[in-house]
Amino acid sequence: MTRYLLALLALLACNALADTFDARVVGIADGDTITVLDAQKTQHKVRLAGIDAPEKGQSYGNASRKSLAALVHRKDVVVEWHKRDRYGRLVGKVLRGRQDVNLEQVRLGFAWHYKRYEMEQTAEDRRRYTKAENNARMRRVGLWQDSEPMPPWEWRTGIRLR
């Protein structure tokens, strides 16, 4: 119960501190990281919250990057961010019109719902992202075509051990 209460308080604090801005996508690093320019022409790296996509060099890494590029490259978006990660990137939801781009990457099978950080999401987003991942797995789309896709958090650990 205490863990749940702490997570809820953290989520409320994150939402209270959330900021939103309009931007133009100018770069795609991989399937879950973009570069945007805000109205003042300030550049920001944005890590898509709630998802983890295959890394460069990993199976489906390039396909995931291409999927994200098709969704947002050179397009206007809204960034709803709530924190910075250890690399200084903004972490948040990217919206193109009414479309949740983070969720769309999961729905298309090019990202996992990143359970490690799911308590930073609203309950509704947790439900939608989980459902999208389960549906992508059942339809065997994107990375789910692989019989045993390796989650990027495991792949990154393996790379570090070499």
The pLDDT score that the predictor gives to residue 2 is: 59
Active-site annotation holds for 118: no
65/110 Cα distance (integer angstroms): 8
Q: Pick the catalytic residue: 3, 24, 47, 84?
A: 47
The pLDDT score that the predictor gives to residue 92 is: 98
Q: Mean pLDDT for each 10-residue chunk of the chain (162 residues)?
A: 52 61 98 98 98 96 98 98 97 98 98 96 98 98 96 85 46
155/32 Cα distance (integer angstroms): 15
How do beta strands 99-100 and 90-96 pair? antiparallel
Active-site annotation holds for 120: no
The pLDDT score that the predictor gives to residue 13 is: 47
**Domain total of the chain:** 1
Would you say how long the chain is, in residues? 162
The pLDDT score that the predictor gives to residue 159 is: 63
CATH number for the domain harbouring residue 44: 2.40.50.90
Kindly state the tokens that stand for 71.
């969704």
Active-site annotation holds for 156: no
Q: Pick the catalytic residue: 55, 104, 120, 133?
A: 55
Domain assignment of residue 47, given as a range: 2-161
